[in-house]
Structures are given as C-alpha cells and as structure tokens.
Amino acid sequence: MIRRAVPASFALLTLLAARAPGPAAQTVPLAVRWPGSDETPREAILGLDHDDDDDNGVPDLADTVIDPNVDDDVTLVEVRADGAGGARAVVTGGVRIVGLRGLATEAVVPLSQGRAVVAVVGVEASARARDASLAITVGSQRVDIPLTVVGVGFLRGDHARLRGHRDALAVSHQVTTDATLPREESPTHPSPDLDNTRVEVWDPGATRSRALLVASQGTAASLGAAAGAVRGQLRDVLLLGDGAAAPMRSTWVRLVGDEVDLRAPGVQSQTLLVGLRDRVRATYTREGAAGSARTDLRVGRPGNEDGPLAARRARWNLHVLRDRPAAQGGRPVVGDDDAAAERIARRQVTISNEIYLQCLITFGDPAQATVRIEDPPPPTMVSIADRDGLNAAGGVIRLRVNGRALPPVPQRRGATPVDTALRLAEAVRAAGFSARVSTNPRVDFGAAGSVEVIVRDAAGRMVTLGAPLDGPLSTDPSQRVALGVVDLSDGVEEFNNLTSATGTLEERSLVKSLQDNDPGTIDLFVVNRFARGTRIGEAFVSGDRGTLINALLLDRAGIATEREAWTQSHEAGHILLDQPWHPDNMGPDRPWLLMDADASLGAVVGPKRLTSEECARIRDESGVASRRPALQRYDLVTRDPYADRYDAWPERPLWPTLAPEAASSAAPREPAPPAQRHGLRWLD
C-alpha cells in the first residue's frame, strides 16, 4: 500500500461523507449511536488495537497511520443533535479520539446537517470494567457513556500469544480427530499441538461469554475490513475464565483446509476452514453493552519473508489428453466434453491447495490455472539406444519429416548414442527443421544412457516423423533407433523400478513433446490409464537424475480417487520433496501420511498429512533459493521500513493481570512505546 498525506479538511469531509448515515431530522435531541445500535447505549466496549490490520509489520498500537478502511478496531460513533457549531467529545481511561493531527483526549467535531462522526480507539486495556468513558456535549446537552477497553487475542498451543505483526496461524499437521486436539473446556490446559489456537479475551469482571470466529478470503491486495468472502466460521465459541481476575479463553480450535476435516466426527465445533493468507477474525460482544472488540490474524506470513511461515506458491501446467486426435473424433480422457475436462483439471488445483496448505503453499486460483485439452502428440522424437545404451555396429538411419525424406545418416561402427544423435540432429537442421538433443541417464541394466532428438519445424511447431516407405528406420543391428509414439488406445506404458529414472519411451515422447520446460511449473498430464495397470499416478523428479523433471502422469483412476488416495498431491509431493521413495518403504507404516505408498481412505485418517519436517524439506529442495525453485513468493506486502524494531514488541503484558510472557526468539530490540503514536494521522 502506498501511503500519502491528504489535506486535513479534505480527509475530514471525506470521512464524514463516507461514514455518516442518511439525512437527519431537522430537530433532534442529542443522541450517540454506536455501530449496530439505534439507541444511545448505557455502556459500550472497545477493542484494544494491538493487531496489524494493514499487514505492514508494525502493531497498530505503534503505527503512525490509521486507514479507516483497513483498521477495523477504530469505532465510528455517530452523534445526532440539533444545533450549529460542533460536538465536543472528551474521553478518559485507555481510549483516544482519532483526529486529523493524531490521538487526543478531547476534540470538537463539526456538525453537518445535525450529525457528526467521532472516531475512537482503545489504546490501553481496562483494569476494571467501565473505567473509561466518552462524553459528548452539544450546547447544553451532554451524554456520558461508560466504556471498557477489552483485549482480544489468539494463543498457540503452549499459550504464547500470537502477535499480528510477526506471527501467523497455521493448519495442523495432525489427524484432525486425534488426541492432540483437547476436547475439555478448561481455560488453563495447554495443547500438545502448537498449531492449535484458542481465543483469549480480557474483559474485567466477565467470567463466561461467547465469541465469533470468521475466516475471510483475502490477500495483501484486499486489506479492507469487509474484503473477502467468508470461507469458514465458528459461531458461539464458548469463553470461560478462571476467576474474575483472569482472562477468558475459548476451547481449542484446529484450522483445517478441506471439508472432510471440517466435518470430522466429534470435533465439528472445534474446526475452522481456512485458506492461505486468509484473515481470521475473532469478535467479542458482551450482553448489555454496545459495540464489540476484535482482533485479526493471518494464516501464514507475507511472501516477502523467508521464515517457515512465509507464504509460497507453486504452479500447475495442466494437460488433459484426448484418446486420439480431435480430427479423428477424439474426446478428452476425462469428462463428457472439453468443458467438463477443464473443470476436472481445475479441481486438481483446489485439491492441491487443500493439501499443501499444511506447508503454507498454494497453487493459486483454480480459475487462473493453465489448462490445455490436447491431442496425443504425433511422433516428433527419435530415440537412440533406448534402454540398453549400446554403441553402433554400423548402419544407416533413414528418416522422413512431415513426409519428406532426409538424406541417410550413418551410424558409424563404435559410435555412442550421443555421437549418433548429434549427427542426426545436424541432418535435421540442414533440412530446415529445428532439432534438440536430450540425453537420458543410464537405466539399471543399460550400458549407457539413451539419447533423443526432438524435432520441430522452423516455427517451433510439432512435426510428424516416420520411417522410410521401403525399409526400416535403421539398419544397425546393435544400436536401436525408434520413433517415440504415444498411443492411448492401450494406455500409457509405465516405468518400473529399473527404468524409473528415465521413464518409458512412450512417457518420454509424451512429456518431452508437451512439457513447457519451465522449471517453475509442474506439468500434470491426465491420461486414460496405464498399460499394465500397476499404478494410477507417476512422478518424475530431479533426484533421479533424469531429463523428465517436474512432471507427473495421472490416470482416470487417480482422478476418481482424488480425495481418497489424494494421488495427484502425492505425486506432486515426490517432485516438491525431490525424493522418489516412500517413507513406509524405509520405516513404519503410517497410512495417514500423504506420502504413504499404498493407503486410500476418504476420511480424516486417510493419507493426506504432511509432517513439519516434510514441509521444511520442500522449502529446502524446491524453495526460492533452491537449485530448481518450483516455489515462488506469494502475497507480497508493503512492509514498514521500521518494522524490525517491533520484533520483540510489546515490552510489557497488554492485559493488566497477565504474567510476563516468554521472551521472543528474535534478538530483543527496544520498541517504541504506544505513546509515540501521537503523530498518528488519518489516511482516507
């Protein structure tokens, strides 16, 4: 957000025009109306403004700018009265009036057509109920409203308070219904899972109440208090206190990323559906008092940061194959038509977002994902020495490109696969076509690696390669030469443990022909089936030293079990973790983990959990500083240049009765006290 100074008179007039209700009566007695109330309240509550609504890394209590469109802790009180001049407002206790020149304890607000707006904010939590006040005077009329400044905050599992300017909420790595989510209502018992959260409310004298939790979709581009559709909410969250001198606390709440976890049996009152960088808002109201107190905290930190909570994004490049070319009546291998196939492909983005939220990773908006409905590629690739990697014994290659015969290319005795491929590429280029040579690693039983020549026309379009009409493609009896043919009529030939580093010739023909060659994307190919039916998904990872990387194949069975086996996200895990093996192949079987080899169950105990260690490995192997970065920074914010000084803020408890909190893990800095906020100004 770009900050700008505005003329004081313009800011005030804009605020009045934007915030004051409709036309007032010509003659009215003095009335003070709190938001959501049509009558002058007998008492009201205000929230302590200690979160970071503008997401700039500075707690709002210490910030020098208030944007009323963003900072929802500011309460706009409407004054209605008959008379000229202005309304005189005076506050006492931990309340301040927000004026054009900063915070003040008194101010005169001009009346316009019998109405005015007074902006008040809580700057210090009340030590006792009703120990603050707001007095409004117009002429000889006066209204006094007792106030209580209420503190609302989020706690993590060990009861450390989460700060909006440096901390974040996160989705649990645990099975939703396991014992790490305490069910008891005790306000003093911690949680063994630090990712669980609970709401804490300091309202002097109150020992039992309720709160509302709402998760709203939103990123740095939508900071406004009303921005973002509601993704999830928990109504009537019970708050209990351990005596009148202690804050009230809610039951433990677990953030979840999908509907299966949201509706987990036995804990539905303790689960909240969220997405990456959602704003989770806790709102507290007290019966008999006007107003509300609230606080906001994001799911994940801004992408500017480099810590484990910083938001990251991966990108899909989605390919749905037709069973044969469209010119031959081909149809997508999933869905009834192209539109249905595209919807199914976009659903893969939604599913991956649900799973990788555990690592604070998103694959973006499904509606913005790249989806292509494609014909199986024609033979555009020639493979030299597939699988065995043998040298030439002597022979010749005769190749046709788009029906045009090329001059014979010799396979000289003793020539390696690379030597032969380079000679073939030279002949292709001499004929006016483009040729790219791609080497493969040696398979377990091969003498050397095979090599491919991928041919395009001068404009980069795919061509159709063929053998001569009157003989074989190659006459060499030792060094085999084969065209890469993709034929979905019998499914895609899958690799085995001996060929997993290279994939099969058909898989290489498919991927190398259609992959975008962007290391920042993951190519997902939806096919009809695998020829031998040994699997429903395959991934190609750089850890195998292969030339097929950041690509995976998913068949119709993998699509059908999308929220049971979570196959697509499992295969993406191989790529992001850069590891081809499964943890249960080398250790105990934990079927609730996403990377389990063979589990399938559409329930909360199904295979969809990622451990915190796996999330850390993903950031190491695929993060922005890795050798092959598949993740990018997500949701960048405008950070205050002085934000670092608030790493250890506050230096004292915000609630009057709380014991000092544990020291911050960050190096301590002397934060500016809230009193320095005297220079605060409106941004309107």
By the 8 A CB rule, do 333 and 311 touch?
no
* Structure tokens given for 74: 């500011």
DSSP at 187: S
| Residue predicted with more confidence, 142 or 4 | 142
Closest C-alpha among 314, 313, 294 to residue 303: 313
Angle at 173 between CA 171 and CA 176, to 5 degrees: 85
Q: In angstroms, rounded to a whole number, what is the distance separating the alpha carbons of residues 193 and 18? A: 45
Radius of gyration of the chain (CA): 32
**What is the tens place of the pLDDT at every residue in 72-87?**
899 999 999 987 688 9
Q: With a cut of 90, say whether residue 15 has pLDDT above it.
A: no
By the 8 A CB rule, do 568 and 537 touch?
yes
**What is the tens place of the pLDDT at every residue in 360-399?**
999 999 999 999 999 999 999 999 999 999 999 999 999 9
Q: With a cut of 80, say whether residue 22 has pLDDT above it.
A: no
pLDDT band at 220 (very low <50, low <70, confident <90, very high): low
Alpha helices in 239-384 (DSSP H): 259-262, 338-356
Q: In angstroms, rounded to a whole number, what is the distance separating the alpha carbons of residues 204 and 130? A: 9
First to last CA, the chain: 13
| Residue predicted with more confidence, 223 or 453 | 453
| Residue predicted with more confidence, 283 or 228 | 283
Task: Return the axis-axis angle of helices 612-622 and 567-577, rounded to nearest 10°.
Answer: 60
* Structure tokens given for 670: 């002397």
Q: In angstroms, rounded to a whole number, what is the distance separating the alpha carbons of residues 523 and 520? A: 10
Which residue bears the tokens 């009323």?
Answer: 68
pLDDT band at 151 (very low <50, low <70, confident <90, very high): very high
Phi, psi of 19 (to 5 degrees): -105, -25
pLDDT band at 28 (very low <50, low <70, confident <90, very high): low
Length of the chain: 684
* Structure tokens given for 466: 């063929």
Q: In angstroms, rounded to a whole number, what is the distance separating the alpha carbons of residues 186 and 241? A: 9
pLDDT of residue 20: 46
By the 8 A CB rule, do 77 and 134 touch?
yes
pLDDT of residue 244: 75
* Structure tokens given for 432: 């006016």
Q: In angstroms, rounded to a whole number, what is the distance separating the alpha carbons of residues 446 and 378? A: 27
**What is the tens place of the pLDDT at every residue in 58-75?**
999 998 877 777 888 999
Q: With a cut of 90, say whether residue 21 has pLDDT above it.
A: no
Dihedral through CA 68, CA 74, CA 75, CA 79, nearest 10?
-60
Q: How many CB atoms are closer than 10 A to CB 648?
A: 17
Task: Return the axis-axis angle of helices 567-577 and 338-356, rounded to nearest 10°.
Answer: 60
**What is the tens place of the pLDDT at every residue in 192-201?**
999 999 999 9
What's the rounded mean pLDDT across residues 141-161? 96
Q: With a cut of 50, say whether residue 202 has pLDDT above it.
A: yes
The strand pairing partners of 116, in sequence order, are 79
* Arithmetic mean of pLDDT over the chain: 88
By the 8 A CB rule, do 316 and 370 touch?
yes
**Positive/negative CA dihedral, 646, 652, 658, 660:** positive
* Amino acid at the residue 503: G
pLDDT band at 415 (very low <50, low <70, confident <90, very high): very high
The strand pairing partners of 316, in sequence order, are 522
In this prediction the pTM is: 0.88
pLDDT band at 545 (very low <50, low <70, confident <90, very high): low
**What is the tens place of the pLDDT at every residue in 292-303?**
999 999 999 999
**Positive/negative CA dihedral, 527, 532, 533, 538:** negative
pLDDT of residue 27: 53
**What is the tens place of the pLDDT at every residue in 608-654?**
999 999 999 999 999 999 988 999 999 999 999 999 999 999 888 89
| Residue predicted with more confidence, 497 or 398 | 398
* Amino acid at the residue 607: P
pLDDT of residue 657: 61
SS3 track for 597-632: CCCCCCCCCCCCECCHHHHHHHHHHHCCCCCCCCCE
pLDDT of residue 70: 84
Q: Concatenate the DSSP letters of all residues of 145-172 into one string.
A: EEEEEEEEEEE-TTSPEEPTTT--B---
| Percent of the chain at pLDDT exceeding 90 | 74
How do 95-99 and 115-122 pair as beta strands? antiparallel
Closest C-alpha among 595, 623, 616, 619 to residue 607: 595
Q: In angstroms, rounded to a whole number, what is the distance separating the alpha carbons of residues 344 and 670? A: 53
- 105: CB partners within 8 A, 6+ apart: 90, 91, 92, 96, 97
Return the half-sphere exposure (C-beta side, CA atoms, 13 A cut-off) of residue 253: 31
The strand pairing partners of 147, in sequence order, are 44, 132
Q: With a cut of 60, say whether residue 317 has pLDDT above it.
A: yes
Percent composition of the chain: helix, strand, coil (DSSP 3-state, to 5): 15, 30, 55
What's the rounded mean pLDDT across residues 345-374? 96
DSSP at 661: P
Q: With a cut of 90, say whether residue 659 has pLDDT above it.
A: no
pLDDT of residue 670: 36
* Structure tokens given for 1: 């957000």
